[in-house]
Structure 1
Amino acid sequence: MSFKWLSTLAVALTGLTSVQAVAATPQNTLTLIPTSVWNPANPSNPNSIELRVYEPNNVKANPAIILALHWCGSSGPEYFGATTYAQYADEMGFVVLFPSSQKDNNCWDVATPATLTRNGGGDSHDLSRIVAWAKGAYNANPSKVFVTGTSSGCMMSNVMSATYPDLFDAMSCYSGVSAGCLAGSPGSSPTTADPTCAMGNNIKTPAQWKAVAQAMYPGYTGKYPRIMTIHGDQDFFVHIKNFEEQLKQWSAIHGESLKQTKVNTPFAGWTKYKYGNGKNLVGYKVAGVGHFVLAEEQLDLSWFGL
């Protein structure tokens, strides 16, 4: 089902550029999807989320869907311009969702009970509505729905994986924190948040982190998304200690322990942390890099099985 009849937004390709070479520019611009279309149950949009979609000309039958979440102070169009997911969509026929947060310094809410509770009415709830709409609109393959993001987007990717684990097959993200790390904070942005989490001082056992995630969807006994998380070892803005806390959380959720670390994998300066057989949880620590590890889209798509 095509939505190219909706009003479109011409996007300036601004913001950070990908470390990967871009072979071609996307064939289409982003399409603005009105709130009344993706969220007819609540078109007033109290969470102030806008949705723009990258729909390539050659959308496959039953395509994959990727929810791509921007960092604080940014937007969906900027994340579109800073990554090459759209170029790969042109080649492979999947659809990319680029929502925008427009409150709390354009950060995703990863702190309030509303967003840390399934169907609680917060940002996570609206993002789940966006994914549900896209699955129906494009007749998507339900086993090929993914979430990715950077910084605040990575934090929300962890939250989405805990609150709506049944929506996603896999997650990848960059420079984030565990699901629930910011719970109870007065805000989710650098200027409004309790700094305890970002500074890496919210330390829990794996069992404690598992309980935090499971409390977001009480009673759920199904499978959780496969998790890949990436972090720079010189990140003192969202401290590298949060990398370990994420791995604690998801290793407990998946019931897997660290089996192998391998340096210079898949790139020089990267260390891979493989849990179990490496199919459900991996982490990558990037040497000498601070905040904003730039997206490695080919790595993401390989993790997604695309």
Structure 2
Amino acid sequence: MRGRTAFSQQNHPDSLSDLAEFGSNPGALRARLYAPEDLPRGAALVVVLHGCTQTAAGYDHSAGWSRLAAEEGFAVLFPEQQRANNANLCFNWFVPEDVTRDRGEALSIRRMIEAMVTKHGLDRERIFITGLSAGGAMAAAMLATYPDVFAGGAIIAGLAYGSASTIPEAFDRMRGHGGPTKSELQRRLAQASSHKGRWPKISIWQGTADRTVAPSNADALVAQWQGVHRVDAGHGRTETVDGQTRQVWCDADGNEVIEKYTIAGMGHGTPLNTVGPDGLGHAAPFMLDVGISSTRRMAAFWNLAGADARSEATVDATATHATAAAALRTYVAPERPRPARVEPVEQPEADGSRASATGVGKVIEDALRAAGLMR
């Protein structure tokens, strides 16, 4: 694993603009965006959700999404959490009010997407979403509650939809303790909306040395999505991509629907490759230069980037897969009042890659440790 480069989320260029008008905002989120000057009509949209303690601009600078959007000709939407909602800037991924269709933060993000599609004339069948940690868990919630909106998604160090609904449960699940059974996770995903069409294709990323979100959560995500895609664990293939393990599952039509990248020795964060001719982004806390660009690989999985982005794969076994596309629906839902919340926040890595939790978040964490619910 490559060494990390310290890089403050506050000391970075901001390439993003504000999306000022997108209707009512029950989740009280900020909307930021990047659209290339020559963005064509019918371009794709990628929605990017930052992790705890991060900002939209900081995550974009490190992950390189706006740069890739300029190269490939798509738009990027960056919902941003506000401290009034969550002291640690985490999306409230485990709060039922915020991860239910047409409510809370989920509805705010949905309305931002509709505003972007309308304003820029984007392709409703090429909308994708990704996120890290709490943002990854919120991306999983958006994919579960609005499968009709997204053609694909990517979850980095995240958790399965419906795996927790309280703070103690959230900490337990992050550490790989307890949680719903495979069949119950599949039931919760299937019942999160009334969707009857094709489901989004899913990319899952996890480090083996992650001490914040246990690697078993990636397995739970795979198991959850195998249900709606009607594939099982035994019908996949394994290959090596940029020195890392990629597992792939497919449906009866032979098209890829689920992929899982396991990054050997990586802690909690987004995998980057910042060097060489295809280098993208900048290393920072929780943005880890490990020699593989999750940003480029996700875009290739969604057919947003050139095929050469996955040309170095070494195949170990074969299987069949399916394409995902979804139609976007417009809707109106009532705005609901919302109190401020605090969400479980990542613990420091051994190298001190983030500041310790403060304020209300620290009080909650201390209480959970005293109760034996958190180490």
Q: Normalising by structure 2, what TM-score? A: 0.68
How far is the alpha carbon of 1:203 from its aligned partner?
3.9
How far, CA to CA, are the matches of 1:196 and 1:152 in structure 2? Answer: 14
- 1:195 equivalent to 2:179? Answer no
How far is the alpha carbon of 1:207 from its aligned partner?
2.2
- 1:132 equivalent to 2:114? Answer yes
Aligned length: 270
How far is the alpha carbon of 1:260 from its aligned partner?
3.4
The residue number in structure 2 matching 1:29 is: 15
CA deviations on 1:155-214 (whole Å, 9 max, x unpaired) are 1111110000011000012111101112x214xxxxx87411101123444321111112
Match of 2:186 among 202, 210, 219: 210
Match of 2:299 among 279, 298, 301: 301
The residue number in structure 2 matching 1:289 is: 266
The one-letter code of the counterpart of 1:236 is: R
Q: What is the SS of the residue equivalent to 1:273?
A: strand
- 1:63 equivalent to 2:43? Answer yes
**Maintained 8 Å contact 1:60/1:93:** yes
The one-letter code of the counterpart of 1:286 is: I
Q: How does 1:244-283 map onto structure 2 within 5 Å? A: 244-258=219-233, 259-263=235-239, 265-268=240-243, 270-276=244-250, 277=254, 279-283=256-260
How far, CA to CA, are the matches of 1:204 and 1:298 in structure 2? Answer: 33
The one-letter code of the counterpart of 2:185 is: W
How far, CA to CA, are the matches of 1:194 and 1:71 in structure 2? Answer: 15
**Maintained 8 Å contact 2:237/2:249:** no
Give unmatched runs, 5+ long, in structure 2. 1-6, 273-293, 305-375
Aligned sequence identity (%): 23
Q: What is the SS of the residue equivalent to 2:203?
A: strand
How far, CA to CA, are the matches of 1:165 and 1:228 in structure 2? Answer: 15
The residue number in structure 1 matching 2:166 is: 185
How far, CA to CA, are the matches of 1:160 and 1:151 in structure 2? Answer: 14
CA deviations on 1:122-151 (whole Å, 9 max, x unpaired) are 111111111111111111111111001111
How far, CA to CA, are the matches of 1:152 and 1:261 in structure 2? Answer: 29
**Maintained 8 Å contact 1:158/1:178:** yes
Change in Cα spacing, 1:132 to 1:181, as seen in structure 2 (3 Å) is same
The residue number in structure 2 matching 1:239 is: 214
- Larger RCO (alpha carbons 8 Å, 6+ apart): 2
The one-letter code of the counterpart of 1:31 is: S
How far, CA to CA, are the matches of 2:242 and 2:188 in structure 1? Answer: 33
How far is the alpha carbon of 1:266 from its aligned partner?
1.0
The residue number in structure 2 matching 1:146 is: 128
More deviation in 197-206 or 60-69? 197-206
The residue number in structure 1 matching 2:91 is: 108
Change in Cα spacing, 1:46 to 1:118, as seen in structure 2 (3 Å) is closer
How far, CA to CA, are the matches of 1:214 and 1:50 in structure 2? Answer: 29
Q: What is the SS of the residue equivalent to 2:131?
A: strand
The structure having more radius of gyration, on CA atoms, is 2
Q: What is the SS of the residue equivalent to 2:96?
A: coil
Q: What is the SS of the residue equivalent to 2:271?
A: coil
The residue number in structure 1 matching 2:369 is: none
**Maintained 8 Å contact 2:26/2:108:** no
**Maintained 8 Å contact 1:144/1:169:** yes
More deviation in 65-74 or 270-279? 270-279
How far, CA to CA, are the matches of 1:90 and 1:224 in structure 2? Answer: 28
Q: What is the SS of the residue equivalent to 1:38?
A: coil
How far is the alpha carbon of 1:293 from its aligned partner?
3.3
**Maintained 8 Å contact 1:145/1:168:** yes
Q: Normalising by structure 1, what TM-score? A: 0.82
How far is the alpha carbon of 1:16 from its aligned partner?
10
CA deviations on 1:54-109 (whole Å, 9 max, x unpaired) are 11111012110000000011121111111111111112221101111112211111
How far, CA to CA, are the matches of 2:149 and 2:108 in structure 1? Answer: 13
The residue number in structure 2 matching 1:5 is: none
How far, CA to CA, are the matches of 1:248 and 1:256 in structure 2? Answer: 9
The one-letter code of the counterpart of 1:176 is: G
Query: CA RMSD, aligned part only?
Result: 2.2
- 1:15 equivalent to 2:13? Answer no
More deviation in 132-141 or 294-303? 294-303
How far, CA to CA, are the matches of 1:288 and 1:16 in structure 2? Answer: 27
Give unmatched runs, 5+ long, in structure 1. 1-12, 18-24, 187-191
Match of 2:52 among 65, 69, 72: 72
